[in-house]
Chains A and B, each alone.
Chain A
């Protein structure tokens, strides 16, 4: 599909632009949304935009996936794309899911105790509380 772009530079520019639009929209969502669930959802979208940006910018149409198999026992940058970004993003996705699960657990517990999950109605902390 990406071969239609012809050159990697053009593809990378398009990916970067798209990802930063998604990132900006997600951050806007974080700032304007009042529902805690929506806020954490917006964070997840922003995070996904960063993942796409990083992986997309390391994509090269003419190179292979960095998988070692018979006959290819060592990483060769002339033949394979850089495996480090993929390893990094896989790790980051795992962390992101763990954080999101914890956040939603807290939101559910908070909802059970207060009956709401709106950030503008959270008034349990402060000087005289």
Chain B
């Protein structure tokens, strides 16, 4: 099995598009299910290293270890679910191209083991995200895409600057080799490099101070695209940011800074979500809130907390995909995503899905979100970070308030419209909620996978050239 398949198969599918241009939705499902199967077959052969060398050190290196495998499997699963969701809506060339390229971008980001390839895949995923934002081709879509491109260009400039400074200082781009030589760089230049990389990845990972644009982008995009942004895009950038953070052995004060940024992201996002009345903006701010908690947990560089953070990445991705896809059904029917639409329809199944996924997001038992959040709180308490525990509990009340406000919308209004939900969509959304319930009731296998992934991430699992 080659790791290159995760990049080459989607590219081949795009290249051969003219051969099956009337069946792109079917090809998309087949492609994503194939990639999911390939990811699952890698379980017993980890860690895997694939090096395409012209003449060493001129090589492209892909590495799949426990942490990147976990995310790769999650990404291929989410891509499969989203492509299955779109199956009913027929051929959509733009969606096929942009979402397939997004898959290539995020897979490459987490597999790449050298900074320049990370930059390439960073740009591939960014361009796909701009295209996905503009899919609706109306004023909102173009306005959102232009905003996204402006902040994306900032991120790209600073990432490129950081990479150039690293190469000028130590003459290597392989992240294993960088990890070994980073300490040789003069401290002031080290700081400048870390700052550039932080701005580059921080903008894309939607961290506080660099995330003012996020709600607009989600609002401008289709709800189903929001699921890809929330579950794949932000998570892949966050993973690369912390992978590099651990490999470069940044100082405790820099980790504290990241933790502080995480806490501020969480607080600011939850307050913004509470103030908002537009469903996509609420879900966007909620995503930021979860990213804040994940960042806070990962900043402790602790095995237990990192495992819990990875578990939260997984559970949040599934819950948010279910919520965004359910919202997409509503948006397609009502042509609006304002929270008042929740009072305008009657569809017990869809209401149930939104409620259950919302409960998992909130961290209510017996859902998997509860296990993830409980593990984070336990981990923080074991490190005597009681302030962080209190903050998460307190701000979670705000999260509960706006989610319940959204859910009580179901009970309001009279003369509700009966909303037809297709069986294929019911099966898909039901599967996601069952997944959340299953991992909530039997969390051990997932926790063990997350613990192994966290150990691999923290252990600086790298392969120097």
Contact = CB atoms under 8 A, between A and B. Distances in A.
B412 interface: no
Interface in B186-239: 216, 219-220
Task: Report whether over half of chain B's contact residues are helix, strand or loop; otherwise say mixed.
Answer: helix
Interface string A76-116: 00000011110010011001001100110011011001100
Given A50-B161, A109-B142, A125-B140, A43 B153 contact: yes
Given A43-B153, A113-B139, A127-B281, A50 B220 contact: no
B421 to A, nearest CB: 27
A11 interface: no
B164 A53 contact: yes
Instruction: Classify the interface of chain A: helix, strand, loop or mixed.
Output: helix
Interface residues of A, number: 39
Contact of A91 (B120, B126, B139, B144): B120
Residue with the highest number of chain B CB atoms closer than 10 Å, among A40, A57, A95: A95
The size bracket of the interface on B is: 35 or more
Nearest to B58: A84
A95 B143 contact: no
B220 A125 contact: yes
B127 A102 contact: yes
A50 B146 contact: no
Contact of A103 (B123, B149, B277): B149
B140 A106 contact: no
A106 B134 contact: yes
Given A50-B160, A109-B137, A39 B150 contact: yes
Contacts of B154: 30
Interface string B152-194: 1110110011001001100101000000000000000000000
B230 to A, nearest CB: 18
Contacts of A125: 140, 143-144, 147, 216, 219-220
Contacts of B152: 99
28 contacts: A36-B146, A39-B150, A40-B149, A43-B150, A43-B153, A47-B160, A50-B157, A74-B55, A75-B55, A82-B171, A84-B58, A91-B116, A99-B127, A99-B149, A102-B131, A106-B130, A106-B149, A113-B138, A114-B139, A119-B150, A122-B143, A124-B140, A124-B143, A125-B144, A125-B147, A127-B281, A128-B278, A129-B140
Interface of A: 30, 36, 39-40, 43, 46-47, 50, 53-54, 57, 74-75, 82-85, 88, 91-92, 95, 98-99, 102-103, 106-107, 109-110, 113-114, 119, 122, 124-129
